[in-house]
Amino acid sequence: MMLGLLLARAGVDVLVLEKHADFLRDFRGDTIHPSTLEVMHELGMIDEFLKLPHQEAREISAQVGGERVPVADFTHLPTRCKFVALMPQWDFLDFLAARAARYPSFRLWMRAEVVGLVEESGRVVGVEVMTAEGRTHVRADLVVGADGRHSVVRERAGLEVRELGAPMDVLWFRLSRRPEDPANLMGIFGSGRIFVLINRGSYWQCGYVIAKGTIDEIRRLGLEAFRESVARIVPYARDRVAELRDWKDVSLLTVRVDRLARWYRPGLLCIGDAAHAMSPVGGIGINLALQDAVAAANLLASPLREGRVRVDDLARVQRRRELPTRVTQWLQVQVQKRVIAPVLGGAAPARLSLPVRLLRRFAILRRVPARLIGIGVRPEHVKSAVAPGRVDRPVSL
């Protein structure tokens, strides 16, 4: 959606295809990072954007064993917004869609599922789409696969995937929130348990991290046992766990961490999770996807407007974004190996004691995770819009 907006703003014909009928999907986290807020500022949208209901997390803390530890302090970042905005993704995407729709060269088809690629002489020249009216084809100078960690586009394109592995999956559900509850984004680490609470105002979005492959065992033990384990981790929510009436209230989000060896083929580019599926560790995958979109728009708007996108142009996008992806995934994998896997195995939280002591003692150290989470590696900046010109065939995303 962000790439669609940026390209339409630069005068490129864009068609965004979204398989669902709306964006009310609860599977991608809620964090809008300082660097993304900076992009919104560069686009002149920040004031309007921040009028949408949201919470502002100026620090992130964790509860390790029984102790509360501040982990990241965003208040010193060199960005206009020194906080992570917590906002449901559907509000963010609706906002971007409404803003993009102001550009005449932007189109969005909902309930339009990409089911295949159209190829001619080894080049991708469009996509096969399933819509409410039936199957159709869309031709395009460039197809951008931004279809997430289960990307159909990358699979149909036959791009080689390198798996980095993830030891966990996440159970995702809501519990109501009361004014006297803590306000901050919280991670709770206890022996065998990792639990994340995201403040969505009237309710908590909860992420219960489980060892990969253990969901059947958890379901076999029954919902009552699951409620009891939630109540033990979050004692102040004990009287609310009955809100989980059915397993349907608890979604399983599968975690994968991987990346493509090559993000492109002639006529096709993947970005975001489709190019590099991110772990939820640090809540930074959305930010990285957004930064890919900004870099792709900066590098591709001119060639697209002039109808001359070459493989070299697509390679430049990967070269630009490869380093941030590798560094971020490396850090996520380290946390998965050194913190998450041992904790889920029941060994921690004693293993966390040194970093915990350091973070608690030296406030300045909290700026390091804040920078990694809030801005990340190689932040991108929006180029100013260029005079609109139109191309004959749309880019499809």
Ligand X SMILES: Cc1cc2nc3c(=O)[nH]c(=O)nc-3n(C[C@H](O)[C@H](O)[C@H](O)COP(=O)(O)OP(=O)(O)OC[C@H]3O[C@@H](n4cnc5c(N)ncnc54)[C@H](O)[C@@H]3O)c2cc1C
Is 28 a binding residue for ligand X by CB under 6 A? The answer is: yes
Determine, following the binding rule CB under 6 A, whether residue 394 of this chain makes contact with ligand X.
no
Residue 18 touching ligand X (CB under 6 A): yes
Contact 254, 166 (CB under 8 A): no
Q: Single out the residue of 175, 211, 270, 286 in contact with ligand X (rule: CB under 6 A).
A: 286
Q: Does 3 bind ligand X (CB under 6 A)?
A: no
Minimum CB separation from ligand X for residue 177, in Å? 17
Range in contact with ligand X (rule: CB under 6 A) among 26-34, 233-241, 258-266, 321-329: 26-34
Asked if 223 touches ligand X (CB under 6 A), the answer is no
Q: Which residue from 11, 34, 187, 285 is in contact with ligand X, where contact means CB under 6 A?
A: 285
φ/ψ bin of 135: left (φ > 0), alpha (ψ from -120 to 50), beta (otherwise): beta
Please identify, using beta-carbon distances, which residue of 20 and 308 lies nearer to ligand X: 20
| Residue 187 CB neighbours (<10 A) | 19
- Least separation in angstroms between residue 217's CB and ligand X is 19
Binding of ligand X by 316 (CB under 6 A): no
At closest approach, how far in Å is the CB of 8 from ligand X?
A: 17
Q: Does 283 bind ligand X (CB under 6 A)?
A: yes
The CB-of-318 to ligand X minimum distance in angstroms stands at 15
- Does 60 participate in binding ligand X (rule CB under 6 A)? no
Binding characters for ligand X, 239-268, by CB under 6 A (x = yes): --------------x-x-------------
Q: Is there binding between residue 328 and ligand X (CB under 6 A)?
A: no
- Please say which residue, 11 or 87, places its beta carbon nearer to ligand X: 87
Contact between 371 and ligand X by CB under 6 A: the answer reads no
The reply to whether 184 sits near ligand X by the rule CB under 6 A is no
**Which stretch, 244-252, 269-277, 302-310, 345-353, contacts ligand X (CB under 6 A)?**
269-277
Residue 273 is a binding residue for ligand X (CB under 6 A): yes
CB of 387 to ligand X, least distance (A): 29
Number of shown-chain residues binding ligand X (CB under 6 A): 29
Site residues (vs ligand X, CB under 6 A): 17-20, 28-31, 113-114, 146-148, 152, 170, 207, 253, 255, 272-274, 278, 280, 283-287, 289
